[in-house]
Structure 1
Amino acid sequence: MNIKNLVKSLLGINNIKFIKSWFRSSKEKKLIKKRKEFYSQFLIPNSVFFDIGANYGNRIEPLINENIKIIAVEPQEECVRFLKKKYGNKITILQNGVGEKIETKLLYISTNANILSSFSKDWINSTKESGRFKNIIWNETREIEMVTLDYLISKFGSPSFIKIDVEGFELEVLKGLTQSVKSLSLEYTVPERKDALLDCLCYLNTLYNSNIMFNYCKTEFTEFSLSHWVNYNDMIEEVNSTAFLNTKFGDVYVKLN
């Protein structure tokens, strides 16, 4: 066993991540600062933030000392342990999935890339067939208790912003929301899941009675791709464009008009 693997076996991957989080490079610090500035347009002190699919909390870190009420929802116990160790009682953590209704669902775990674990078998199959994640193995399942966005709102109050990063399960998450919120984001995967994204946008446009505007960021960027917010019809046209399909993945942002 080499030294690197020996350290991993002795400390465990979560403890390694925890230790590394305290010794950030200047590049990482700049990214945190950029994310803090970006999210400030949606979140101000005393507002509520739902992080749906929190994983190891890279979108929590920029907000942790901004007097924002953070509700992190994450189904994977390994990630939950990490979040509790790092943030303690600074945030509220729920070990759940989020979906259309309160029930129990199977989570498909990728043990070699847990950031890609998903409740969506369709998303897993489409990304494997396209070759995007040809080396990823979803080799474990767990039963997870699901909650809904409506439930979270009833328990913690209406959020100013919801981040949804659930690897292809976005529409099911949105269907558990029957009331408007100020703003949200949802991750997309194209071209494999273009139709799934269009279904999400249609659901939101109906929910908000067309009183809604859209923009998006490519990949992990914190800069909008469009120079201004656009309406539903313009966003549909954008999603169907070659330029958008070539972005591969990113986040669509939605806000009340």
Structure 2
Amino acid sequence: MTRVESWFGIARSLAMYYGVPRRGGRMARLYGQFVTPGSLCFDVGAHAGDRIGAFRRLGARVVAVEPQAAFVRLLRGFYGRDGDVVILHAALGRAPGRARLFVSERAPTVTTLSRAWIDKVRRDPSFRGVRWSEGAEVEVRTLDALIDELGIPAFVKIDVEGFEAEVLSGLSRSLPALSFEYLPAARETALECVERLTSLGDYRYNWSRGESLVLGEAAWLDADGIRRFLASLTLGSGSGDVYARLGGSAPSSPAPVPTSSS
């Protein structure tokens, strides 16, 4: 990877996540349903850190987990002096150890730990021209270990490019709320996440398309409902996120949206 390619990839991520008008207000309205002042949030696959900022504006403490060294440096530059943000240079998986990254230099948002995921998403037109190469090994921890060390999070955001089911395999207890990415070309991963959560508790589900940050269902779905949604996705229809909350815990009213972020 050349220095130019590395900086291009970082700049592309910054533009993608920080260059969209009114994005901050949408994040506050969405995450304010799950996060209140004093809450603990885990941002698994923190990347450029826009969700860290959203959680902090809602008054939450944040544990950010990021495997790419360049983005760990970026996050430490943004949040290293914030005592309510913990930044970990690591990945999460089903068991502790080490794993190798597959890096996309020009599109670092799709850097992954899953070679199988790469093989699947190459069928998706939106991945045409994307290339991966072997990168560094990274420490792998588990959600359970993180919880034992740092506490039970009110919300966990998981965006790890095909490794979501592995992350949830390292969790042995139900959590109040979380999100994980879906992609039509690799919908099996999202379905595995649903199965894992079903084994841990009575969850209800919703979804948002792309980076819209708007929930797609007025009424939350049961496990069969979200399975039907995932099965209905067509190749090329775009990625998004599934949101899950324990069935007995209705989402709270969104926190007030800061006027400077709207």
Q: Same fold (TM over 0.5)?
A: yes
The structure 1 residue matched to 2:24, chosen from 24, 32, 35, is 32
Q: Which amino acid aligns with 1:159?
A: P
Q: Give CA-to-partner distance per residue, 1:142-168, whole Å, 9 cap, x none.
A: 111100000110111000000000000
Give the structure 1 partner of residue 259 of structure 2.
none
**Contact 1:239 1:245 survives alignment (8 Å):** no
> Using a 3 Å threshold, how does the CA distance of structure 1 residues 59 and 129 change in structure 2: closer, same or farther?
same
Bigger relative contact order (CA 8 A; separation at least 6): 2
- Provide the alpha-carbon RMSD of the alignment: 2.1
The structure 1 residue matched to 2:182, chosen from 185, 188, 206, is 188
Q: Which amino acid aligns with 1:172?
A: E
Partner Cα separation in structure 2 for residue 39 and residue 197 of structure 1: 20
The structure 2 residue matched to 1:92, chosen from 86, 92, 114, is 86
Moved more, 79-88 or 122-131: 122-131
1:195-210 equivalences in 2 (<5 Å): 195-208=188-201
Give 1:101 shift: 0.6
Give the structure 2 partner of residue 212 of structure 1.
203
Give 1:246 shift: 6.2
Query: SS state of the match for residue 63, structure 2?
Result: strand
Give the structure 1 partner of residue 60 of structure 2.
68
Query: SS state of the match for residue 50, structure 2?
Result: coil
Q: Which amino acid aligns with 2:198?
A: N
Count of residue pairs brought into register by the alignment: 237
The structure 2 residue matched to 1:112, chosen from 72, 88, 106, is 106
Give the structure 1 partner of residue 244 of structure 2.
254
Q: Give CA-to-partner distance per residue, 1:72-114, whole Å, 9 cap, x none.
A: 0000110010011111232110000000010111111111111
TM-score normalised over the length of structure 2: 0.84
Query: SS state of the match for residue 119, structure 1?
Result: coil
The structure 1 residue matched to 2:48, chosen from 56, 61, 86, is 56
Partner Cα separation in structure 2 for residue 238 and residue 139 of structure 1: 33
TM-score normalised over the length of structure 1: 0.86
**Contact 2:63 2:86 survives alignment (8 Å):** yes
| Structure 2 residue 97 is the aligned partner of structure 1 residue 103 | yes
Q: Which amino acid aligns with 2:205?
A: F
**Contact 1:219 1:247 survives alignment (8 Å):** no
**Contact 2:32 2:58 survives alignment (8 Å):** no
Query: SS state of the match for residue 214, structure 1?
Result: strand
Q: Which runs of 5+ in 1 are unaligned?
A: 1-7
Query: SS state of the match for residue 172, structure 2?
Result: coil
**Contact 1:188 1:250 survives alignment (8 Å):** yes
| Structure 2 residue 47 is the aligned partner of structure 1 residue 47 | no
Q: Decide which structure has the larger Cα Rg and report it.
A: 1
Partner Cα separation in structure 2 for residue 246 and residue 111 of structure 1: 23
* Identical aligned residues as a percent: 32
Partner Cα separation in structure 1 for residue 125 and residue 94 of structure 2: 29
Give the structure 1 partner of residue 228 of structure 2.
237
Q: Which runs of 5+ in 2 are unaligned?
A: 248-262
Partner Cα separation in structure 2 for residue 216 and residue 49 of structure 1: 19
> Using a 3 Å threshold, how does the CA distance of structure 1 residues 131 and 238 change in structure 2: closer, same or farther?
closer
Give the structure 2 partner of residue 224 of structure 1.
215
Query: SS state of the match for residue 132, structure 1?
Result: helix
The structure 1 residue matched to 2:144, chosen from 147, 150, 157, is 150
**Contact 2:26 2:214 survives alignment (8 Å):** no
